[in-house]
Amino acid sequence: MNKDERLLKSGSRLSHLAGMVEPQYTTIWDCCCDHGLLGMSLLRDQCADEVIFVDVVEDILATLAARLAHSFPQDQYRWQVHCTDINNIAVSAADSQLFIIAGVGPHQTIEFINSLSASAPETVFDLLICAVHGSYSVREALIEKGYGLKNEQIIFENNRFYEAIYASKNTDKPIVNTGSQMWHWSDPSHRDYWHRVVGHYRQKAKSDPLYFQPIIKSYERLKNAIKHIQN
């Protein structure tokens, strides 16, 4: 494939995720890969020795496998296509691995994190997470599993906000459940996102204040801290 061929739309959620990946991994797993555009971009840019595409939709993966065979001949590129649930993945003891989990909700994301960790409790691998929503609970799951922060971004696409969380056990920087370095209070879209998140939890707190009020207070403390530092 021509390295100048554009697979990802500039400024899109997937292009932001691709830009966060630090080469060079032995294996990158593009989980819930859908049409495989993110994984193909990373394969083309040689971010890993091998890219493994995982999804549960057979028709999409059959089309993806045909495209990979045409554009990424296996005498030049290493790739695999697995039609399976992420929960069925047996994590290998590769030198360095990155699992990308994007486009699913928080409960499924946390389930995948737990499943991967249980599959190989002694194996260290990185995670790039971009859940559809509910990043607070995803962050808490990563903290519980002992992950630290490599990078994080707020991504805005099609009037929706996403948090991209690049996590590793090979870093001493802690993950903060409200996010930390991704916030830029001078950016109106970041302020808009903060208000959306807090508004969501305020609605939740009407039925369960004991659980959700501490979350709201965490975001309020975060706002005050960011404004103090960035003003």
Q: What is the pLDDT of residues 5-64, one digit of tens each?
A: 578 888 899 999 999 999 889 999 999 988 899 999 999 999 999 999 999 999 999 999
| pTM, entire model | 0.93
**Residue closest to 50 by CA, chosen among 70, 73, 74, 26:** 26
d(CA 226, CA 230): 6
Contacts of 39 (CB under 8 A, 6+ apart): 28, 30, 33, 51, 53, 79, 100
Asked whether residue 230 carries a pLDDT value surpassing 70, the answer given is no
What percentage of the chain carries pLDDT values higher than 70? 95
Give the three-state DSSP class for 19. Answer: helix
Residue 152: other Cβ atoms inside 10 A: 21
